[in-house]
Amino acid sequence: MANHAPLLADLVAGGSAIPDFDHLIIDEAHNLEDAATNQFGGSVSMRKTVDVLDGIYRRPGRDHREGGVVTLVRALPEAAFGPVAKSLEEAVARCTEKARPFFDALVVLLPPTGEDDRVLITGGIRHSDVWGRVESAWHDFEIGLRDVEARVSTARKLISEAAIESAEVLAGEVDSALRKVSDLHLQAAELLGATADDLILWAGRDRDTTGTLNVAPLEVGPRLWEELLSKRRVVVATSATLSANNDMSFASKRLGFEDPQVLQLGSPFDYPNATLLCAVEDVPDPSERGYLEGVARAVVELTLASDGRALALFTSNAALRRVADLVRPELEAAGIIALAQGVEGSPKQLTDQLRNNPRTLVLGTSSFWEGVDIPGDDLSVLVIVRLPFAVPTDPIFAARSEASTFIRSSTCRCCSSTSSAPVVPGPAMSTTALKSGVVCEGNPKMMTARSSVERIRAPTIVPPRLKRPPASEVPPSTTTMIASISFIRPMLLASAAIVMSSKLMIEMSSGIR
């Protein structure tokens, strides 16, 4: 039993941590592609560089003491090792200074600060003057890395040959730090030269505002099959959302399954009579001015109608904070608390607050999209502001979309397997004897876009009733309702699994599970 991350990390490490096994059950399989992308990819950053160089020499600071190989060398006889320690300290300082221009040059590739500070490294960028400055800065940085490697190697040789106690142990410590520097050097060089068609290379912005260089495989399926799935006697992959248009072939291909058996299980819940889908037409288009104000107005009306007991989900932190500021005065005047994730607390803290005080609106982002179960009447309104489509500027999404059909890929990422699709809020509430509900769609384009039409036509369960009122008429008099400011496919209120010969993909109802 293991989460996706340690399972795949063990795979990358050669299978040394997890004991041998013949049977594998992958739950939440729709997340496997993203987890594999993270594990099979790589990244270099200024923070990572500093961490690696700290293993050689870490300057004393307010929160930490001096550390690294240099401190070990300084404990040895001064006459022989004093100069060695000093040369290592100076080499680390030079390398750190040479690293900064490289990561600063990567930042120049990026658009102005915004929601998605990443850019795909294309052939056009590689032939630009800006990329030329990146390569020039890398040349200097690489000289610094080689200098550190050479001096650490010299120190290691002197220690191993010295007539001192525990020389072998000390040499091993130096070896470990040296390997990390060499690995960083090799990874950075490989990223700079990554031009293979099966790799995705992009620049990003780190938390400290410096640049990062990142790589990921274009496809993870072949490696998952070759190194993980094909080596097991039985593999079962299960999730609430593996199908698109009642077809799991897209998910099976992306996850690496070859000719799997598939099984879709329906739902025991009476959604046609329990749920109402409302396609609101008077909320501005997301690209128009006043969109967030329109969303805030709808959120206020829905929350007041249900007397709290509401959760609003966002794909953008900036939008979440803006709507929170807009709705808070009116709701608090009515005695309803508005709590924003990242401002008033963690997801767990906000969920506990909603359970303890139902007169609450929680505004959340990615952490709330999955794994949230608030039973009973504590949660009566679910507002999904926008579906979590991957943005076109996402380098991984852009590269993979170009390699396949955009609409097909985009639809499947939102409604099915390979994304952080909104798969749990529906099942979480439907498992608690939902009596009635309203799904409110507030993006006019979502009801006319081809991808939306496919979602409406292709649920795995009977869709709820459909109405198209203005937002002001959405709040009903019922005490229990579900509301969404962007269409959430009714099928998401159901669930899915994968066996291939002995490998299976199953899509199964959360009620059954």
The pLDDT of 437-447, averaged and rounded, is 52
What would the pLDDT profile of 308-328 be if each residue is shown by its tens digit? Answer: 888 888 888 888 999 999 999
Stretch 389-395: mean pLDDT: 76
* Lowest model confidence (mean pLDDT) among 171-180, 411-420, 421-430: 421-430
Sequence-distant (≥ 6) Cβ neighbours of residue 384 within 8 angstroms: 312, 313, 422, 425, 484, 485, 486, 488
Question: Does 52 have pLDDT greater than 70?
Answer: yes
Q: Which of 313-327, 423-437, 469-483, 499-513 has the highest mean pLDDT?
A: 313-327
In the prediction, which pLDDT does 116 show?
Answer: 61
pLDDT at 500: 40
Average pLDDT of the residues in 399-423: 49
Contact 271, 461 (CB under 8 A): yes
Phi, psi of 439 (to 5 degrees): -105, 120
Q: Quick check: 440 pLDDT over 60?
A: no
Residue 455's pLDDT band (boundaries 50, 70, 90)? very low
Q: What percent of the chain has pLDDT over 70?
A: 72
**Token output for 482:** 């579900």
| 432: phi then psi, degrees, rounded to nearest 5 | -115, 40
pLDDT at 68 over 60: yes
Q: Report the alpha-carbon distance of residue 309 to residue 155 in Å, rounded.
A: 64
Those residues whose C-beta lies under 8 Å from the C-beta of residue 209, and which sit 6 or more positions away, are 107
Residue 263's pLDDT is: 87
What CATH number matches the domain at 271-387+422-490, 3.90.45.10, 3.10.310.70, 3.40.50.300, 1.20.970.10? 3.40.50.300
pLDDT band for 385, please (50, 70, 90 cuts).
confident
Average pLDDT, the chain: 78
Separation CA 410–CA 408 (nearest Å): 6
- Looking at residue 427, its pLDDT comes to 32
User: How many whole angstroms separate alpha carbon 325 and alpha carbon 181?
Assistant: 46
Which residue is listed with tokens 């969303």? 295
CB 486 within 8 A of CB 442: yes
Per cent of the chain over pLDDT 90 is 37
pLDDT tens digits along 70-99: 998 888 888 889 999 999 999 999 999 999
Which residue is associated with the tokens 């507002």? Answer: 383
Select the highest-mean-pLDDT range: 175-184, 187-196, 414-423.
175-184
pLDDT at res. 370: 67
- H helices present in 306-465, as ranges: 317-333, 347-356, 395-403, 406-415, 425-430, 450-457
Neighbours of 157 (CB within 10 A): 12
Domain residue limits, the chain: 1-40+233-265+393-420+495-513, 43-217, 271-387+422-490
Give the per-residue pLDDT at 361: 94
Half-sphere exposure of 340 (CA within 13 A, CB side): 16
Residue 469 pLDDT grade (very low, low, confident, very high; cuts 50, 70, 90)? low
**For residue range 97-149, what is the model confidence (pLDDT) as tens digits?**
999 999 999 999 988 755 568 899 998 999 999 999 999 999 999 999 999 99
Q: State the pLDDT at residue 164.
A: 80
Tell me which range, 60-69, 86-95, 193-202, 393-402, is most confidently predicted by mean pLDDT. 86-95
Amino acid 513: pLDDT: 31
Residue 485 CA to residue 434 CA, distance in Å, equals 20
Cα(193)–Cα(430) distance, integer angstroms:
50
The mean per-residue pLDDT over the stretch 9-15 comes to 87
Cα 43 to Cα 47, 188, 192, 214: the distances in Å are 11, 8, 11, 4
Beta-carbon-side half-sphere exposure of residue 111 (alpha carbons within 13 Å): 9
Residue 462 predicted with pLDDT over 70: no
What's the token pair of residue 424?
A: 């749990």
Q: Residues 273-315: pLDDT tens digits?
A: 666 565 566 778 777 888 899 889 888 988 898 888 888 888 8
As a whole number, mean pLDDT of residues 210-220 equals: 94
Mean pLDDT, residues 255-281: 74
SS in 3 state form for 263-317?
EECCCCCCHHHHEEEEECCCCCCCCCCCHHHHHHHHHHHHHHHCCCCEEEECCCH
pLDDT level of residue 493 (50, 70, 90 thresholds): very low
SS3 content of the chain, % helix, strand, coil (to 5): 45, 15, 40
For residue 263 the two structure tokens come to 């099984």
> Residue 448's pLDDT is what?
53
* Alpha carbon distance 168, 411 (integer Å): 58
pLDDT at 480 over 50: no
